[in-house]
Amino acid sequence: MSKGVRRFEVFTGVGKRRDWPNAVKASILAECWPGGERVTAVARRHGLDPSQIYTWRKELVRRCEDQGLPVPAALKQEASAFVPVMITPEVSPEPSHAPRRSRRRRRAEAAQIELEIGGALVRIGSGADMDTITAVITALRASR
């Protein structure tokens, strides 16, 4: 009786590690170049994770910078920056004369509606439109 291999496995699907030639990487990057097809769609089609394509993009930028080549403008990432904000005090107009009370009785505001669906409390104000209310109720019912 031989003591050789008793069991072996054949992997027919896509393996976890693949070595992609630079030409193939370049063609995949060209498919999802900024302004082209979405990275997720291209990655799915080629059996990749989208993070792999973003890693290849970073490698391309780094290689261009190391070799002194211009980095494509579409791949440059702008540094995050805050937009300056100026807050001005709210000025209320001065009344020209003493306010008069209206003789007409003010119309009472419509009562607020409260719904409890699946443990979630939803308050609906008088200004909400019917489509919004319906969408919220439908979403809450679906989440049960």
| Residues 88, 84: Cα–Cα separation, whole Å | 13
pLDDT higher than 70, residue 127:
yes
| Mean pLDDT to the nearest integer, 6-22 | 71
Mind listing the pLDDT tens digit for each residue in 28-62?
988 888 777 899 999 999 888 999 999 998 888 88
Which residues, 6+ apart, have CB-to-CB distance to 112 below 8 Å?
Answer: 123, 124, 125, 126
**Domain limits, the chain:** 22-75, 113-142
Predicted confidence (pLDDT) at residue 108 exceeds the cutoff of 60: no
Q: Hey, what are 110's tokens?
A: 């419509």
Per-residue pLDDT tens over the stretch 20-29: 888 899 889 8
DSSP letter assigned to residue 124: E
Q: Tell me the pTM.
A: 0.42
Spatial separation of the C-alpha atoms in residues 12 and 35, rounded to whole Å: 35
For 35: left if phi > 0, alpha if psi spans -120 to 50, otherwise beta; the answer is left
